[in-house]
Structure 1
Amino acid sequence: MTNRLALSLAAILLGSTQISLAEPDKTSTLTNKIDLIGINLSAAGFSPNVLPGKNGQHYFFPEKNHFKYYSEKNIRLIRFFFLWERAQHNLNAKLDSEYIGLIKKTLDMAHQHGQKVILDMHNYARYKDNLIGSKKVPYEAYANVWRKLAETFKDHPAVYGYDIMNEPHDTQGLWPKAAQVAVDAIREVDDKTLIFIEGDRWASAWHWPKFNGDLLIKDPAKRLIYEAHLYFDHDTSGRYSRPEQVDPMIGVRHVQPFVEWLKANGQKGFLGEYGVPDDSPSMLKAMDNLLAYLNENCIPSAYWAGGPGWGKYKLAIEPVDGKDRPQMDILQKHIANSCVDIGPPQPEASTEVHPRE
């Protein structure tokens, strides 16, 4: 989700108040080998303009009922966003015990419901509005926080992956080195967990080859997943600021540049965000077609968004008055699959990425 949308949601809140790709549980009636359908559980990163902020006032952590709802829907993949500034109040300082404790509690609840979590640093390649790699935020400070985070969470059974940065944008060419130093730092303490690498220009799938054509990060553990995002509105921002009728294949067309880049470079992919208004039949159809295409290529995805605090936000997928949102029916349609590995399929077995045991 773009920073502009995050800030607007934060303002509303202030004014009003692994992908799990492992084998399914043996008790499951599903036949899929990996989980292709996931959900973003958000709120711990709300009100990014209020730092560090207070839990329950400026930001919110999901509760047991959120995990229960998605578990009952056989959604076992969770992308969970947090803010660097709340996890570490000053560069190179120790991690904040209260915020980290809340993340651990979130992971515990996911584990209790048979779900795996991708931890997403939702900072747009910045710390307190300063770019990573600038004088105010040296690369080593970014390496420092990920080294500490990996050391803290690597042994938790619910952790599937580290999404090292949400939607880098306007990074002035600094992002590739930042991504590399974060990977290097994580691998100093954890060589098992998947690492998710997003691209510049808000991780746009449609713009990926132009802005991220050479974003090929080295990982000694060979456990990288490249992550793009996709929204269907006219400026691909996800704000959906005006009613629009869209072509039913718009999602497929806009994700294809990313998928073709993955195939050309022998990489695995993940669509970490996509979402549509619940009152737009044309966009719901486009979402249906997008997920069918992703399933054909064994590329997992996570819908934006669920969790507390969304209110009447049209992209939200939390039930309203006990009734499922229209988007949920489409997600359910695409849960079953025959994939045994993260896609797109590659010609050489050496590119396979399997979940950790």
Structure 2
Amino acid sequence: MKSLFQNKIFKVVVVAFLINNTILQAQIDSINNAAFELNKRLNRGINIPNIENMNANHYRIIKEAGFNNVRIPIAPFKETLSETDFTLKPSFFDMLDEAVNNALANNLIPIIDFHQHHVIQNDPLGVAPAFYAIWQQIAEHYKDAPSEILFEIANEPNVAPDLWNDFYKMAYRIIRKSNPNRTILIGTIYGNQIKYLKDLELPEADRNIIVTIHYYEPIDFTHQGAEWNPKRKDISGIEWPTESMPEQTVIDDLKIAQDWSIAHKRPLHLGEFGVYNKTEMAFRIKWTSYVARLADSLGWSWSYWELNQGFGIYNLKTNEWNEGLYRALIPK
């Protein structure tokens, strides 16, 4: 009887152990899948780089048009009290809160994107104290806010890989102190290019991270006539696709990112893609549709660059969509 009793005890312990392990694994899987699940909800979105010109009605229009997220580029270096006092002006948070709250009110997921990459690349070590101080303030400000608010540490960090890995990790640690469960977006270097995914070092234990990339290839096509780009401001008349710039190149590029995502078990967000308005509209539409549908098929989320400026698809004055580009992003 004793042996039988002990055997029953052993079976109970084994069952309990298996149940506990199953529960623990489910919890781990839930944590590991959190970023993937949120990435699904991000789905299709758009960048709004001029939130000062936006009102509540614009966010409603964006949602009704079929978008699920808005990426909000911010320029906080110029919003501090002085060059030595990195305290953010109250007006900065007033403007940002209005954008974030309008997004949430319309079931849009806002991505707060630290967008001053040119300032960072010109003097990364010099601006580091201000960068970290600003992120500490933003993180503290939103620490009790809904989890749907996402932080993107820095847009297009144009610095060497070792420097970027060290640079972002300090901001990451600062954010995690006050926001242990918030999803963070971390991007690759030199324009968030796909080919630099291999150089990105991520905290292995933290799975609540979405990796963000940008795509503008072939750049002579997407940026032809761009006034701010000395190499391409005088280029015009480039079509897509062509024999030298076939659709297959886009497929191959995005496959590199997808292979990395699968190997590292990290979700991907295509934070920017688009074609400048000096390009013939038919080719803008064709390229935009092609990239958007590929991203959809790969299970990525995306945010088109951008709403109403040089790459834009919406007129804030007339409240009208560019139907061709809009449908390239959100098909009927």
Work out whether the TM-score is over 0.5: yes
Whole-Å separation in 1 of the counterparts to 2:251 and 2:208 = 26
Q: Distance in 1 between matches of 2:221 and 2:86?
A: 36
Which whole-Å CA distance do the structure 2 matches of 1:201 and 1:160 have between them? 25
Partner of 2:207: 222
* Counterpart residue number, 2:127: 137
1:191 and 2:180 correspond: yes
1:329 aligned partner: 327
My pick for the range that moved more, 151-160 or 270-279, is: 151-160
What is the distance in 2 between the residues matched to 1:287 and 1:96? 38
| Alignment TM-score, normalising by the size of structure 2 | 0.74
Q: Within 5 Å, which residues of 2 pair with 1:90-239?
A: 90=83, 93-124=86-117, 126-127=119-120, 130-132=122-124, 134=125, 136-138=126-128, 140-157=129-146, 159-171=148-160, 173-205=162-194, 208=195, 211-218=196-203, 221-235=206-220, 238=223
> Is residue 147–residue 182 contact of structure 2 (8 Å, CA) maintained in 1?
no
Q: Partners in 1 of 2:319 and 2:303 — Cα distance?
A: 22
| Alpha-carbon distance in 2 for matches of 1:77, 1:181 | 27
Determine the structure 2 residue equivalent to 1:78: 70
Decide whether aligned partners of structure 1 residues 282 and 254 sit closer, same or farther in structure 2, where only a CA change above 3 A counts. farther
Q: Is 1:63 equivalent to 2:48 in the alignment?
A: no
Q: Is the 8 A contact 1:80 1:120 kept in 2?
A: yes
Q: Show the counterpart of 1:285.
A: 286
Residues 231 and 276 of structure 1 are in contact (CA less than 8 Å); yes or no, is this contact kept in structure 2? Answer: yes
Distance 1:302 1:19 in 2: 16
d(CA) in 2 for partners of 1:87 and 1:171?
27
- Cα deviation, 1:283-302, whole Å, max 9, x if unaligned, reads 42232222222122210000
Task: Verify the 8 A CA contact 1:272 1:303 in the aligned structure 2.
Answer: yes
Q: 1:102 to 1:219 in 2, by over 3 A?
A: farther
**Ranges in structure 2 where 5+ consecutive residues have no aligned partner:** 1-33, 227-235
Which digits, 9 at most, give the CA deviation of each residue in 1:5-64, with x for residues without a partner?
xxxxxxxxxxxxx999659xxxxxxxxx634210001125xxxxxxxxxxxxxxx34222
Aligned to 1:56: none
Deviation at 1:169, TM superposition (A): 1.0
Give the Å deviation of 1:225: 1.0
Q: Given the alignment of the two structures, is residue 317 of structure 1 paired with residue 318 of structure 2, yes or no?
A: no
Q: Could you tell me how far 1:172 is from its partner in structure 2?
A: 7.2
Q: Give the deviation of 1:240 after TM superposition.
A: 4.8
Partners of 1:237 and 1:201 in 2: how far apart?
A: 17
Higher-Rg member (1/2): 2
CA spacing shift, 1:297–1:66, aligned 2, 3 Å = same
Shift in alpha-carbon separation, 1:161–1:35, aligned structure 2, 3 A: closer
Shift of 1:236: 7.3
Q: Is the 8 A contact 2:210 2:267 kept in 1?
A: yes
Alignment-derived partner of residue 240 in structure 2: 246
Unmatched 5+ stretches in structure 1: 1-17, 24-32, 45-59, 335-357
Higher helix share: 2
CA 1:240–1:252 in structure 2 vs 1: closer, same or farther (change >3 Å)? farther
- 3-state SS of paired residue (2:50): coil
Contact 1:162 1:195 in 2 (8 A): yes
Amino acid of the structure 2 residue aligned with 1:197: I
Contact 1:79-1:118 within 8 A present in 2 as well: yes
Shift of the 66–186 alpha-carbon distance from structure 1 to 2, 3 Å rule, reads same
TM-score in terms of structure 1 length: 0.70
Residue of structure 1 in register with 2:19 after alignment:
none
Deviates most, 292-301 or 316-325: 316-325
CA deviations on 1:178-204 (whole Å, 9 max, x unpaired) are: 111111110011012111111111112
- How far did residue 229 of structure 1 move? 0.6
Moved over 4 A (4+): 18-23
Say which is worse superposed, 80-89 or 222-231, in terms of deviation.
80-89
Equivalent residue, structure 1, for 2:46: 39
* Residue 19 to residue 239, structure 1, CA distance change in 2 (3 Å): farther
Task: Give the secondary structure class of the aligned counterpart of 2:213.
Answer: strand
Q: Is the Cα–Cα contact under 8 Å of residues 212 and 268 in structure 2 kept in the other structure? A: yes
| 82-91 or 191-200: bigger deviation | 82-91
Aligned-residue CA RMSD (Å) = 2.9
1:147-166 alpha-carbon deviations (Å, 9 max, x no partner) = 22111123333852111101
Matched, 1:295 2:284: no
Q: Which amino acid aligns with 2:269?
A: F
Residue in 1 aligned with 2:21?
none
Task: Report 1 or 2 for greater relative contact order, CA contacts < 8 Å, sequence distance ≥ 6.
Answer: 1
- 1:321 Cα shift? 4.2
Q: Following the alignment from structure 2 to structure 1, what is the Cα–Cα distance between the partners of residues 108 and 96?
A: 14
1:304 is matched with which residue?
305
Give distance in 2, aligned partners of 1:183 and 1:233: 32
| Partner SS state of residue 330, structure 2 | helix
